Amino acid sequence: MSRLAWRSNILFNRFLLFFLSMLLLATVLSGCGTGKSVVVYTAVDQVYSEQLFTQFTQETGIRVLPVFDVEAAKTTGLINRIIAEKENPQADVFWSNEFIQTILLQEKGVLAPYVSASAKDIPQAFKEEKGYWTGFGGRARVLIINRDKLSRDKYPTSLLNLLDSGVSPDQIGIALPMFGTTATHAAALYAQWGPEAALSWHGTLKEKGVRVLDGNSVVRDLVASGELIMGLTDTDDAYGAVNNGAPVDVVYLDQEEGGMGTLINPNTAALIAGAPHPETARLFIDWLLKPSTEAALLKVGFIDLPCRDVGVQSLNLGDTVVKGMSVNLAAIYANLEVSRTDMTELFMK
């Protein structure tokens, strides 16, 4: 046998064998399924939402085909995708862990109205008046503090005295305020304090050298590891560190008498206009907005603040009452563009 023919036999066989076995393995591992389904695009953490999808499938027999977002893409990957797919929608339901992006989708004409019967006991403040989206169970904006690094008597109580605790500003972290819930928080402060005061407060943070990080989870991780002493994040991130045994405390700011309260960010569910599976989409939204589903999210600790009485206490909060900011969701959204532009000007240098 010639050298070339020998190479041909050996290498091509190996080449084909390797790729075909990979293909077979991949097909077996990935699995397949048929039957009724609903396509859900969700920004909710996979760890939490997957449990609910499994439960929904067990109860209804409808298979959930999820698409998840990741913080590394600034949790905007799905929004980009839904807008780009507008002419030929592929998603049935958008389930978000906040409300700003959902209102943005409504403005882009991507959503369809649907008033779910399960939402009748949800307060009107959490619902879009024409039914384009419905809010439920919220997460709060909190300060996470490494208790090994700071004594309790020095814990800040308000955003306004965040820098007065004696902690060096470079030991305090926030996420980039142009993205995610930190952007929502900035817009909420614009609505609550007015643009000048809110911009000035952010300017002070920047000027004093507060660390501006890639995301809320990075803030949490650095505080949990002791690289930072404290930082602003969301309750699901903060309690994630608590439940992992990190030496951290979670502080709700501005709770004192006359205080403005903290930002409460509800989840939102919305039907996509022209959804390929509208019937199963409505069934899924009905199921998601049921009090029992909100209770399940409370039990796993993804949300802390139900929007109605669901008969279950929060895993993280117990019976503690948290005061939310009085500013309404529409006002926060109205301030988003100007606050994001300001934050980009301020922090993208």
In the block, tokens 């980039």 appear at 176
Q: How near is the Cβ of 164 to another protein at its closest, in Å?
A: 23
Residue 14 vs 120, nearer CB to another protein:
14
Give the CA distances from residue 185 to residues 152, 264, 278, in Å, rounded to whole numbers and listed in that order.
Answer: 25, 9, 33
Cα-Cα-Cα-Cα dihedral sign, residues 75, 80, 86, 90: negative
**Residue span 167-196 as binding mask against another protein, x where in contact by CB under 8 A, dash where not:** ---------x-xx---x-------------
Q: Is position 10 an interface residue for another protein (rule: CB under 8 A)? A: yes
Looking at residue 241, its amino acid is: A
Stretch 48-107 residues interacting with another protein (CB under 8 A): 63-74, 76-77, 79-81, 83-85, 87-88, 90-91, 104
- Does residue 40 contact residue 91 with C-beta atoms inside 8 Å? yes
Radius of gyration of the chain (CA): 23
Q: How near is the Cβ of 259 to another protein at its closest, in Å?
A: 29
- Does residue 142 contact residue 174 with C-beta atoms inside 8 Å? no
Stretch 226-245 residues interacting with another protein (CB under 8 A): 227, 237, 240-241, 244
Residue 14 vs 154, nearer CB to another protein:
14
Candidates 142-150, 198-206, 321-329, 335-343; binding stretch for another protein (CB under 8 A) = 335-343
- Does residue 106 contact residue 333 with C-beta atoms inside 8 Å? no
DSSP structure class, residue 336: H
Residue 118 vs 216, nearer CB to another protein:
216
Residue 110 vs 310, nearer CB to another protein:
110
Q: How near is the Cβ of 66 to another protein at its closest, in Å?
A: 6
CA distance linking residue 41 with residue 281, whole number of Å: 11
Stretch 23-52 residues interacting with another protein (CB under 8 A): 23, 25-31, 37, 39-41, 45-47
Q: Is position 290 an interface residue for another protein (rule: CB under 8 A)? A: no
Using CB atoms within 10 A of its CB, is residue 10 exposed (0-12), middle (13-18) or buried (19+)?
exposed
Q: How near is the Cβ of 6 to another protein at its closest, in Å?
A: 4
Cα-Cα-Cα-Cα dihedral sign, residues 159, 263, 316, 176: negative
Residue 70 vs 125, nearer CB to another protein:
70
Residue 183 vs 288, nearer CB to another protein:
183
Q: How near is the Cβ of 187 to another protein at its closest, in Å?
A: 11
Q: Is position 279 an interface residue for another protein (rule: CB under 8 A)? A: no
Stretch 107-126 residues interacting with another protein (CB under 8 A): 108
CA distance linking residue 303 with residue 236, whole number of Å: 7
Stretch 125-154 residues interacting with another protein (CB under 8 A): none
Stretch 198-227 residues interacting with another protein (CB under 8 A): 211-215, 217-218, 220-221, 224-225, 227
CA atoms within 13 A on the CB side of 6: 3
Q: How near is the Cβ of 258 to another protein at its closest, in Å?
A: 34
Q: How near is the Cβ of 232 to another protein at its closest, in Å?
A: 16
Q: How near is the Cβ of 166 to another protein at its closest, in Å?
A: 19
In the block, tokens 């926060």 appear at 332
Q: How near is the Cβ of 89 to another protein at its closest, in Å?
A: 9
CA distance linking residue 169 with residue 163, whole number of Å: 7
Q: 126-165: string of b/e by CB count within 10 Å (b at 16+)? A: bbbeebbbbbbbbbbbbbbbbeebbeeeebbbebeebbeb
Candidates 126-134, 198-206, 315-323, 333-341; binding stretch for another protein (CB under 8 A) = 333-341
